[in-house]
Structure 1
Amino acid sequence: MLRQKQFVKKTKSGKVLKVVKEHYLRDDIWCSAEACKECEHTESILSATPSTNKLFPLPHYIIPDTNIFMNQIDVMEKSQINNVIVLQTVLEEVKHLSLPIHKRVRDMISNKEKHFYVFSNEHHRETFIEKLKDESPNDRNDRAIRVATKWYGNHIQNLKPKVSVVMMTDDAANRSKAIADGLQAVSVKRYIEALDNTELLDMISDAKELDDGQQMIYAEHLSPTHLSGGIKSGKYYQGKLGISSHNYLEGTILIVGRENLNRAVDGDIIAVELLPKSEWRTTPTGVVIDEEEEKEEEESLKAEQTAAASNEDATMTDASVSSDGTKTDTPQPCGKVVGVIRRNWRQYCGFIDRKSVHTPAGSSAPINVLFYAMETKIPKIKIRTRQAHSLLGQRIIVSIDSWPKTSRYPIGHFIRSLGDAGDKSTETEVLLLEHDVPFHEFSKQVLSLLPVEGENWVVKPEHFNGREDFRSLNVCSIDPPGCTDIDDALHVSSLPNGNYEVGVHIADVTHFVKPGNVMDQEAASRGTTVYLVDKRIDMLPGLLGTNLCSLRSNVERLSFSCIWELNENAEIVNVRFTKSVIASKASLTYEEAQNRIDDERMQDDITKGIRTLNQLAKKLKQRRLDMGALTLASPEVRFNLERDTQDPVDVEMKELKETNALVEEFMLLANISVARKIYEKFPDSAMLRCHPTPPATNFEKLEKAVARMGITIDHSTSKTLSESLDNAVIPEEPYFNKLLRIMTTRCMMQALYFCSGSLTVPEFKHYGLATDIYTHFTSPIRRYSDVMVHRQLHAAIDPSISYGGELTDKEAMNELCGVLNHRNRMAQQAARSSVELFTHLFFKNKVEEEEGYVIRILKNAFIVLVPKYGIEGIVYASAKVPKNASTEGAPAAQPILVYNTETDSLQSTEPLDEGQAPKVQIQLFQKVMVQISIDDDLKGGGEGGMRQKLKMDLLKPWIEGISVHGICNKDDPEAHAVTSTADPTAPLLNGDAPRKREGHSKGKEEQKRASKRSRV
């Protein structure tokens, strides 16, 4: 049946158009119930024997309304909720309200074990309804859900075995109308209570029960219309909130304090209004605070939970708190959040604060407790749970539901437990979830697209069509030890004219991963392979990544080759690109390749080729450096793991060899050459990679620090910066130059993928590599960006290739670049978190004393880098309070060192002793001695509880109230009674020269040992 609806609309130009919409209604839309004989479905989805519970003892199907999916999606995903009819009305409304939740609903629908069926009620003649006059769209949709529920109940009433239909809604008015119509209707809470499942009950999102609804703590957020107008007029500023990693009450848009943050959470898109100048202060970044533990809060929770034992509806009264900032003579503009344009809430991993649980063990009453996210940028979250005691000591996942203006904390609900805190597998899962790393197993749909031959797949004659045969070339790969996903290989051969043919051969992943199929979609979603200390989260199924695509030795593999003719000076004479077949002659580690170069007795063709490539690579590198390419550094370490337990047993610095640079140079050259080619073919949609020029402000503190040492940093261009770094040498401190390069790295901007049509040509520049254009081509096994570049390159060299809109759609390419930038950033952070986790495991039950260097000065602390372990830690500038000391009524710890804005240093204002220099000073690059241990708070006894923190205590210079006695001389106060004076003319890297006191004769020997240890 065809229905038509006519209406008129006015265009921007003023014309009036008549619009006709056609709507088809059908009689043949199936119910999909397995026992139904009336419908002619060939493959039913709804089971003949769905679940029952105490409330509905008859087997039944569930029909949820839109808000059930929007607010209770975590409950709906559980296996106990099955045989669900998803109405078209609901699915379309969810899609309009939230694309992420819509995707989760679609995932449930595609999961056959869940038995979720989409019923097209808007196209069924008996379930479609017209919108009534004066009826709101929401009321119309609620009525449509009731009508569809009634039709289903009538349609299946004669099924054998007997089955009923239950409408699920948390809207009391909608429930009442449904019951009045003779339908079965229930709230999600009552339905879950009938299942007798405590975990599911805790997962119910019920913000109203957690909000006291009384005292207004925060200002009302402005309406979207008001915000839009204010942003257009310039009254308000729009931006993404980024919270300080050291202070969760600070935002990067110069927002300080709980009241001014006004319920905004890290990652939210917010609208900000500038405060009056009288309320401006110094830029707050640089103040370290821990989570405050107010007595008022504890008493409130204790009283509430006592009441909860007899009354489930007990609520909590919160008190507002403001952060304390540090003022100087140069106030900076500050603002306050007046509205949230788009929330960035997600699921958070963390733990229940032990101090917030005051009911006796064994109580089953639901209580309100506080949840700490592992990510310190996130505020505490208030949740309601019946499992408080059993969840203590567990890592759990919590989701935020709302943040009313009357609630001091956001309100959320429990989702699931991950396992015991401190367990390596649990903590690894936590860091993957926290960094949004997809780590689920590849689906059957994805795996079904792998070659049916499996590991027995081989190159066949038909694969040579359109490919060059390079199997006779002396191709070899050079990779880290243990590498199984070998993306790239190299060859070199001499040409009759005295030049060289050099080839970079890259795994041809696109032969196996076709555009648009489920494997391609999965790879695009993952974006990149994630490398953790003890394992790898692959972007592609292992059969491809470590076998069929991997360019292993002595097997034929498909590749995409970049072939240059280079002269003796490593200058490109010409370049071409081709699909190919190779048979690598050797898979070498960097060390094995280096040994071949160094061992003159080895004169085989592979070794000679590696030597030639090495000589050419040196010339390529020198030319890059001459153009201004930067050589930066990072404190990278490698853990040696115990074979069975995979626990760390040793740490060593990563050593780079000539062969590392050899491979790097040719990969860089290939990426640049490919970038030029694809930009030539796709000027508006080429996938490229840029590295923006860092702003001058990024170098201010670094320039000031090295100026005191007689060193100048010129960052006007990458070339001048490179020359400055090369010249920044202190002969007596060989580590200084590497330390300076590490700190310069932190002044850089993030390199990003971008679509060529979204930036101007000058913005294509890669600052660090000093090249005008760049992309990623050489690692398609582990980076999806390279897969897209392979497709664009293939289209660029082969006119017969037909490519869809994916290669030319600028908007789609731009969106993909945003996803890949996010995945790349998260992968890097996950890798760092994995190193941090294994560092904690390594230092468990250990106390180490090592040299370190001050790499950042904060307002009330300083950060120390310990080169031997590649770790950083915070040393506070306040007096230490004994861990078990009673602090009731005691004033807060007073700072011993105060921040000096002019010198960007921490210093004392009082002389240490009569006759000594008046100040102790902590400055950038200063060498210090620290004691490293783990502040293991997994038992929840300490502040916040349940966090393992790297603890770094100052040994030298000795600062009363801050420094600690070393483990070797803890009973000998004189051994550590070394004071420190700040001599502005002394090299800062040596720190403050220790003044030897009477009875202390170790100064020179200690300095010698310290100098030796610094050469790591």
Structure 2
Amino acid sequence: MELNVKQSGIERRILTSTYRKTRREKITKRVHELYLRNDIACGWPTCSKCSFDPEARTLADLNNETRSSLAPYKHVLIVDAQCVLKFIDVFHHEVFKNTIILQSVWNHVKRLNPAIYKKMNQLYLDGPSDYFVYMNEFSAETFVDTSASLPKESDLEENLIKAVQYFQLHWKNSGVRPVLLCSSDEVRNKIKPVFENSFTMIEYVKGITNATDLYERLCDLDSKEERGRALFPEYLSQDEMLDGLARGIYKKGSFKLSLENYLEANILFDDATQWFVQGRVNMNRAINGDTVVAALLPKEQWTCPEKVIRLRDAEEQQAKEMLEGSEDLHDEEGIKAAKRTKLEILPTAKIVGVLKRNWRSYCGLILPANIEKGKRFLFAPSERLIPRIRIETSHYEELRGKKIVVAIDSWPRDSFYPRGHYVRTIGVEGERETEDEVILLEHEIPHHKFPPAVFDCLPKMPWTPQASPERLDMRDLDICSVDPVGCTDIDDALHCKILEDGNLEVGVHIADVTHFVRPDTAMDQEAALRSTTVYLCGRRIDMLPDLLSSNLCSLRDDGPRYAFSVVWKLTPEAEILNTRFHKSLIHSRAALTYQRAQDLVDNKPLEEIFDDLVASDALDAKKEIFERLRISLKQLMALSKKLKVRRVGHGALQLASSEIRFDVDPTTGTPIKVIEKAHLPTMSMVEEFMLLANISVAEKILAEYPDCAILRRHPVPEQAAFKPLVELAKACGFEINPQDGKTLAESLDTAEDPKNPMVNTMLRMLTTRCMTQAVYFPAGTLPHTLYIHYGLAARVYTHFTSPIRRYADIMVHRLLATVINADKVHPAMLDRKRLVKQTDNMNYRHRQAQYASRASTLLNTHLMLKANPEKNPLDSFVIGIRKNGLQVMVPKYGLETVIIFPATLAKTDEEVLEIAKQYIRPFQKVKVKLELVEKNFRKKIEVTLVEPKIEGLNTESIEIGSIE
């Protein structure tokens, strides 16, 4: 060695060279330099040969001599890589306390299976002394030179042997021995001649008394399935895929399964184009969300969607499902026969390989078997875009009727179903606590308790805001908040006053969360991970601890609060004369609900508005405050209407969605009644000023930070995306013009049916579905022409007004604070790579929170119908017509469902359905009966068509909540 560094623990240096051929056929040489150490601790806490950092992780000195009859001495377990890959979901069991995972095993799992690596890493983090990682590849005593290009399995075995032999010698006088657990008899038989204490994992557990359940579970996980004829094409090799991508033969994209037909999908590419995929064979075992490599089919094989509803719950029969390969390809044949009559073909592709699996653990139910005393079962995931998963278990009787978690292991070519294994039980299907947990798990909502390090970041109580020179004292202003009933995390408040020159001063005051959440603290990291507060029915998963979200940050009316204020000077016609931004100190005069604010605007007497306004010494003062707020709210209302007219005139869209809420019993969590959210003018009033604040802040931070401002864009939809809307409206006699936002808004305004007011609402709901979702992005990562927010007709837009519940707003607050010199720039605010990663996470968390909220609404519909069955038919509206069914919306519950019937009974012609001499048209009012039923242990809402009455029609219904 050139340097004398042996005193630092480095013993020797290893140089290895690799050679690689470039695309231009040149040979490049890469030299890898590795320093081997002699001071890496073994992990045994009482080892006299090693020195330990007092804060470093160690093993525990356990008395496990009597644990297993195969190892009747104090011992530490060492596992091979296949043990981790195959049995990771049982490693949390106390039997496996004091396990060493070698660095070579750790890295192999990380390379081979990211999903299992994530579990392994979490297991390591959660167990303070249960698992120890030994850096064998950096230790001079255990290093194995693998530069001779041995097979990977040989490398792993050599590393295992070298490590266990080292531990055996190293611990000779420590009273502890290493025990090697192997994944198979084959590996054990190879190693046992050189290391006697080698056993299979199943052998070791079999030698443990009272571990029958664990033994049976390991046997289930280890079972091998017989293979049959290949049903799917073989995937291309990694090299073949990469070469084809480089030559432009194949394209890489994201696989998205159709919500209406599980035999159809699209592959979405980065350039905003997409290819259509139809049939199991062409899908080739891809699962929704996988990153796939696809090849375009010859043009004569191109096809288009069938306009047929195909949902697994309706089509799959249990008797068929239980026999592997018993399903023929009648679906494929039907598709091939139908495509010849189709005119509007799409570029159609087949999948030739999968680059990245989107597999995770799934919640759902195990389905009953047709074969008595069988061990192979199908698992039905709650997420209907995921296929059935075949698992093996000896505990069906214990698992039936329970919501369980299953992980996918593989998808063999000879099976219609991926193969997986049981992970854990959540609870009894249908119980509120179980179903809430399923919603959170299925949508990957972080809902763990806040770590102690987060609470360490909170201010010590009691704490009160103090006036300071850097804050504008605005406590003299009549500021109030306007929110839904029961809101405790109050982000925003407003004020309005008339100036001497006849103009108006309007302020939007937003909770100053960044005063408490500083960059790169434990609290900031947790908030960045969660990215959003998640609202379920009767439950809220906070982004920030309750002390902040419902108290210190919340702009309540019980004392002063820190705020970040945007203040405009406006003309009476709502023209902006100037805009100011301040860190401020405010004192809200009242925390109003939308209804109370509306009553003030409507001149309702105070005594009728505030039934809690009882006589007191301060009564007159309170009345005076409320009368001043009444004047302020009326001025805000008048200005907001002018702002809205101007915004709509520029092309902003007024869309619609089905919004309901449940009154929930606080003690039992059972919904008592369902309430459709009524729209009040005060809601629009608040919305207009929040939009104005967001736009003003976006313009300010973009001007100062053109390369890293956090913005929100809503892409302009492709004209083709509006085709279903245009055709559906045309069938009802309306013309929708989606040429641009302005023409679309104007045509929606004119699409009114006096006899059926719901028509316009449903057209606006369907318009929403023609668009992609709005997303966060860092400025500078896209051309300026793509910054636009289409739905709001805004050139630039961001989120500033809800920092208690959105991390994006926290990031924007930090940028704005530096612009007005109220804070210093943190390096993370300018790190482009980090910003892109964070905005990707925010987009994902925001989307999942929306889906979780919808799933919670559907759950409460279940619970509501269970507690209070609907006796009478309900008004519903047809929102879609297919060859074999109807898509129906039930406004009372915000429920969307599919009613399926045999396609041979019906005819469709230009979106009109004819069945049994009855005609059903889009948006037609029908009546349906809702009933909660149980089939195969699964509770579902059965929807029966009551009017129009069609004799002899047997239907199957599928509840789908809101179409995502």
Instruction: Tell me the TM-score normalised to structure 1 length.
Output: 0.84
How far residue 114 of structure 1 moved from its aligned partner, in angstroms, is 4.8
Is 1:110–2:125 an aligned residue pair? yes
Inter-CA distance 401–114: structure 2 relative to 1 (3 Å threshold): farther
Q: In 2, Cα distance between the equivalents of 1:8 and 1:731?
A: 76
Please show how residues 880-899 of structure 1 align to structure 2 within 5 Å. 895-899=904-908
How far residue 723 of structure 1 moved from its aligned partner, in angstroms, is 1.2
2:273 corresponds in structure 1 to none
**Higher mean Cα deviation, 744-753 or 205-214?**
205-214
2:429 corresponds in structure 1 to 421
Inter-CA distance 438–202: structure 2 relative to 1 (3 Å threshold): farther
Inter-CA distance 183–561: structure 2 relative to 1 (3 Å threshold): farther
Q: In 2, Cα distance between the equivalents of 1:528 and 1:201?
A: 42
- Counterpart of 1:438 in structure 2: which amino acid? P
1:443 corresponds in structure 2 to 451
How far residue 182 of structure 1 moved from its aligned partner, in angstroms, is 2.1
Inter-CA distance 248–18: structure 2 relative to 1 (3 Å threshold): closer
SS at 2:96 equivalent: coil
How far residue 265 of structure 1 moved from its aligned partner, in angstroms, is 1.4
Q: In 1, Cα distance between the equivalents of 2:582 and 2:455?
A: 29
SS at 2:582 equivalent: strand
Is 1:125–2:134 an aligned residue pair? no
Is 1:405–2:413 an aligned residue pair? yes
Inter-CA distance 500–723: structure 2 relative to 1 (3 Å threshold): same
- Counterpart of 1:158 in structure 2: which amino acid? N
1:582 corresponds in structure 2 to 586
Is 1:170–2:183 an aligned residue pair? yes
924, 937, 942: which is aligned to 1:946? Answer: 937
1:62 corresponds in structure 2 to 77
Cα pair 1:757 1:810 within 8 Å, conserved: no
Inter-CA distance 501–357: structure 2 relative to 1 (3 Å threshold): farther
- Counterpart of 2:941 in structure 1: which amino acid? L
232, 236, 251: which is aligned to 1:218? Answer: 232
Q: In 2, Cα distance between the equivalents of 1:875 and 1:862?
A: 5
**Higher mean Cα deviation, 239-248 or 130-139?**
130-139
Q: In 2, Cα distance between the equivalents of 1:665 and 1:351?
A: 46
How far residue 827 of structure 1 moved from its aligned partner, in angstroms, is 0.8
Inter-CA distance 134–283: structure 2 relative to 1 (3 Å threshold): closer
Q: In 2, Cα distance between the equivalents of 1:285 and 1:265?
A: 21
How far residue 690 of structure 1 moved from its aligned partner, in angstroms, is 0.9
- Counterpart of 2:464 in structure 1: which amino acid? V
Please show how residues 644-663 of structure 1 align to structure 2 within 5 Å. 644-663=667-686
949, 956, 960: which is aligned to 1:958? Answer: 949
925, 928, 931: which is aligned to 1:930? Answer: 928
Inter-CA distance 792–70: structure 2 relative to 1 (3 Å threshold): farther
Please show how residues 82-481 of structure 1 align to structure 2 within 5 Å. 82-131=97-146, 133-136=148-151, 138-159=153-174, 162-170=175-183, 172=185, 174-195=187-208, 196-197=210-211, 200-201=214-215, 204=218, 209-253=223-267, 254-276=276-298, 279-284=301-306, 286-291=308-313, 292-293=315-316, 297=320, 300=323, 320-323=328-331, 324-325=334-335, 326-327=338-339, 328-330=341-343, 332-333=345-346, 334-356=348-370, 358-359=372-373, 367-453=375-461, 456-460=462-466, 464=468, 466-481=470-485
- Counterpart of 2:465 in structure 1: which amino acid? V
Please show how residues 966-981 of structure 1 align to structure 2 within 5 Å. none
Q: In 2, Cα distance between the equivalents of 1:257 and 1:871?
A: 29
**Higher mean Cα deviation, 425-434 or 728-737?**
728-737
Q: In 1, Cα distance between the equivalents of 2:20 and 2:241?
A: 27
Cα pair 2:445 2:530 within 8 Å, conserved: yes
Cα deviation, 1:559-592, whole Å, max 9, x if unaligned, reads 2222222221222211122222222221111111
Is 1:682–2:695 an aligned residue pair? no
Identity over the aligned pairs, expressed in percent?
A: 39
How far residue 799 of structure 1 moved from its aligned partner, in angstroms, is 8.0
Cα deviation, 1:649-677, whole Å, max 9, x if unaligned, reads 21121012121111111111111111112
1:721 corresponds in structure 2 to 744
**Higher mean Cα deviation, 657-666 or 102-111?**
102-111
Cα deviation, 1:764-809, whole Å, max 9, x if unaligned, reads 11111111111111111111111111222222222861321x2222
Cα deviation, 1:232-286, whole Å, max 9, x if unaligned, reads 4444343222122333232234333322222211111222334455554441354
Cα deviation, 1:398-446, whole Å, max 9, x if unaligned, reads 0000111123321100001111111111111112111111212222232
Is 1:904–2:904 an aligned residue pair? no
Q: In 1, Cα distance between the equivalents of 2:219 and 2:638?
A: 65
Q: In 2, Cα distance between the equivalents of 1:673 and 1:663?
A: 15
SS at 1:585 equivalent: strand
Is 1:837–2:859 an aligned residue pair? yes
Cα deviation, 1:838-880, whole Å, max 9, x if unaligned, reads 11111224343122111111221111112233222222233xx
- Counterpart of 2:284 in structure 1: which amino acid? N
Q: In 2, Cα distance between the equivalents of 1:383 and 1:926?
A: 44
- Counterpart of 2:918 in structure 1: which amino acid? V
1:999 corresponds in structure 2 to none
SS at 1:46 equivalent: coil
Please show how residues 502-541 of structure 1 align to structure 2 within 5 Å. 502-541=506-545
SS at 2:378 equivalent: strand
Cα pair 1:212 1:317 within 8 Å, conserved: no
Cα deviation, 1:606-638, whole Å, max 9, x if unaligned, reads 332222222221211111111111111112112
812, 827, 837: which is aligned to 1:789? Answer: 812
Q: In 2, Cα distance between the equivalents of 1:572 and 1:189?
A: 74
Q: In 1, Cα distance between the equivalents of 2:747 and 2:322?
A: 58
Q: In 1, Cα distance between the equivalents of 2:21 and 2:233?
A: 40
Inter-CA distance 247–186: structure 2 relative to 1 (3 Å threshold): farther
Is 1:47–2:70 an aligned residue pair? no
Residue ranges of structure 2 left out of the alignment (5+ in a row): 1-10, 268-275, 607-623, 956-964
SS at 1:242 equivalent: strand
SS at 1:851 equivalent: strand
Q: In 2, Cα distance between the equivalents of 1:299 and 1:733?
A: 47
**Higher mean Cα deviation, 193-202 or 832-841?**
193-202
Cα deviation, 1:327-386, whole Å, max 9, x if unaligned, reads 433263443322222111111111111134621xxxxxx811111111222111111111
1:703 corresponds in structure 2 to 726
19, 35, 38: which is aligned to 2:49? Answer: 38
How far residue 93 of structure 1 moved from its aligned partner, in angstroms, is 3.4
Cα deviation, 1:18-56, whole Å, max 9, x if unaligned, reads 876553333332223223233332356211115433433
Q: In 2, Cα distance between the equivalents of 1:533 and 1:600?
A: 31
Inter-CA distance 202–831: structure 2 relative to 1 (3 Å threshold): farther
Number of residue pairs the alignment of both structures matches: 903
- Counterpart of 1:960 in structure 2: which amino acid? E
Q: In 2, Cα distance between the equivalents of 1:854 and 1:750?
A: 25
SS at 1:412 equivalent: strand
Cα pair 1:896 1:961 within 8 Å, conserved: no
1:1010 corresponds in structure 2 to none
